[in-house]
Amino acid sequence: MSSRTAPPSAGPLTTVQWLICVIAAIGFAFDIYELLMLPLILGPAAQELLGVAPGSTEFLFWRGILFFAPAFIGGIVGMYGGVLTDRLGRRFVLTWSIILYAVSAFLAGFSTNIWMLLFFRCTTFIGVCVEFVAAVAWLAELFPNPTQREKVLGYTQAFSSIGGLLVAIVSEYISTKGVAESFPAIGIPGLLAPLLGQIKQEFVHAPWRYTLMSGLIPALPLIVIRPFLPESPVWAQKRAAGTLRRPSFSELFAPQLRQTTLVTTVMFACSYGAAFGAIQQAPEIVKGLTDVQQKVKSAVEELKLPPEAERAEALKRRTRGQIEQKVASQYTKMQEVGGLVGRFLLAFLAIRVLSRRNLMRIFLGPGLLIVPAIFFFFLSVPNTKFAEIDLSSIYLGTLPITTMSIGMFLAGLFTVAQFSFWGNYLPLVYPVHLRGTGESFAANIGGRMFGTAFALVTTTIVSLLPDTLGSTPQKFAVTAGGVAAFVYLMANIFCSSLPEPEPGAMEE
C-alpha cells in the first residue's frame, strides 16, 4: 500500500489562479446560456422557418429533433473530446471548445431553414459537451488542496446558473417591442444567398436571431486571457516524465471502476432527464396560462395587418412568437434564480457533508416529491400573482412572483444543483490519465445523450396523447410531471450504490 502525502495548504489565490477561475466561470456560464437558449427561441424560430403553428404535428416533430439530435451528436463527439482532453491537455481542448460553440451560436442566427439551424445547434452542442469535461478536469487538478478545490469547483459552476439567468434576461430584453427593430437587419451576404437562401423581409429583425447571435460573447474575453492560462501541472508532469498512460474506454469498465462508471452514467442521465424532459418544457406549458393567452390575443387584435394574406399571417406569427418568447424568458429567469440558489447551497454543503451520497440525497429526496407535483398542477392551480420585481431600470426586465414562477424556482433549485454535484464528484473517482475520459462518458453518454433524450420522450408522448386530455400546454404539463417522477425515482434508487471517493485519488 502506497503512502499518501498530506495535501498542500490552501493559500490566497494568485492573479493567475483568479484568471483561471474567471475563464472557467465564463465557460460554465455560457455552457448553460447556449443550452437554455433553445427552448426560448424554438417556438418563434420554428414558426418562421417551417411556417407552421405551435402544437402542429410538424412543429412537435422538429421540436423533438432539435432537442435530441444536437445532444446525441454532441454526446458522441464529446465522449471522444474527453479522450482528447486526456491526450492533448485540458487547456488546449477547453479553449477551442469554447470558440467552437460561441462561433456556432452566432452563425445559427443566420439560419434560413430548419436544417441550417439544426446543423449549427449540433456544432454548438459539440463545443458545450467537450468544454464541461475539460474545464472540470482542469480546475480539479490546478487546485490540489481538497477544501479549496471543492470551493473553486462549486462556486465557478454556480456561474452556470448565472448563464441561464443571463440568457433569459437577454431574450426578454430583445423580445421587448421595438428593441430588435433597433438592431441592424440580419441578412445573408449576396455571394452566399444562392447557396443558403435569404431571410424574408418580415423576419430580418426577428428577436430569436439576435438571441442566438449573443452566444458569441464568451469567445471575446477568452482570446485576451488565453495566453495567461497554464496547463494542468499534474497532467503536464506525467506527460513530460513519460508516465502518462493512454486513456481507454474499456478501462472504465474494469472491476475497480465498473460500478462507478455505470452508476454515475445512470444518475447523470436522470439529472439531465429532469432538466430536459420537464423543466425545459416550461416554455410550451406557460402558453396555456390564461394571462399569457390574453396577452397574445390583445397584441394580435391591435396589429395593423397588410392586405396580403401571407404577410398578415407572418406578422401574426412573429407577434405571437415575440410575446411567448418574452414570457418564457421571465419564467426561465425564476428557474435559474432557483438553480443559482441550489448551486450555491451545494457549494456550501460540499465541504461540510462528508458523504457524497448524503450530499446528493439532500436534493434528490425533496425533489422526488416536489418537482413532479409542480408540473402535474402547473395549469390546474390558479396562477396567482403576488408581486413583480421591476428590474427595468438596469435592463433586466421583471421577475414575476406568481404561483407558477415559485414552482419553477423550486424545480430549478432541486434539479440544477445536481449538475454542480457531478462537477465536484467525478474528478475524485477517476485517475489522472482517465479523468477526462471517465467524466466525458458519464456527462456525454449519460447526460447529453440519454438524459436529453427525455425531451424527445416528452414531445413524442405529447404528440400521441388524445385531444380529450386537453390543450397542447396541458399535455406538456402532465407528461413533464410523469417524466420528472420517473427520473427522480430512478436517481434516488441508484444513489444508494454511488461509490464514495477514496482519499488521495486526485493525485493518482
Question: Mean pLDDT throughout 120-140?
Answer: 86
Place of cell 412537435: 60
Q: How many CA atoms does the CB half-sphere of 247 hold within 13 Å?
A: 27
Asked if residue 354 lies in contact with residue 475, where contact means CB atoms within 8 angstroms, the answer is no
Q: How many CA atoms does the CB half-sphere of 430 hold within 13 Å?
A: 35
Work out the percent of the chain whose per-residue pLDDT is above 90: 24
Query: Is the sign of the CA dihedral 462, 463, 464, 470 positive or negative?
Result: positive
Place of cell 428557474: 335
Q: What is the 3-state secondary structure (H, E, C) of 107-163?
A: HHCCCCCHHHHHHHHHHHHHHHHHHHHHHHHHHHHHCCCHHHHHHHHHHHHCHHHHH
- List alpha helices for 143-184, DSSP H: 146-157, 159-175
At position 428, the amino acid (one-letter code) is L
- Angstrom distance (rounded) from CA 359 to CA 364: 9
CB neighbours of 242 closer than 8 A, spacing ≥ 6?
none
pTM of the model: 0.77
Q: Minimum mean pLDDT among 16-25, 66-75, 219-228, 484-493: which range?
A: 219-228
Q: Which residues pair with 390 in a beta bridge?
A: 398
Instruction: Classify domain 15-507 by CATH number.
Output: 1.20.1250.20
Comparing 300 with 471, the larger pLDDT belongs to 471
Q: What is the pLDDT of residues 442-482, one digit of tens each?
A: 988 898 889 988 988 998 999 899 988 888 899 999 999 99
- Angstrom distance (rounded) from CA 333 to CA 316: 26
Work out the percent of the chain whose per-residue pLDDT is above 70: 94
The backbone torsions φ and ψ at residue 130, rounded to the nearest 5 degrees and listed phi first, read: -75, -40
Beta-strand runs (E) in 179-274: none
Element (H, E) at 242: none
Question: Mean pLDDT throughout 158-170?
Answer: 82
Q: Which of 294-298, 315-319, 372-376 has the highest mean pLDDT?
A: 372-376
Q: Which of 301-305, 307-311, 423-427 has the highest mean pLDDT?
A: 423-427
Nearest CA-CA partner of 448 in 149, 81, 165, 106: 81
Could you give the C-alpha distances from 374 to 354, 404, 483, in angstroms and in order? Answer: 31, 8, 12
**pLDDT given for residue 188 in this prediction:** 86
The full set of domain ranges for the chain reads 15-507
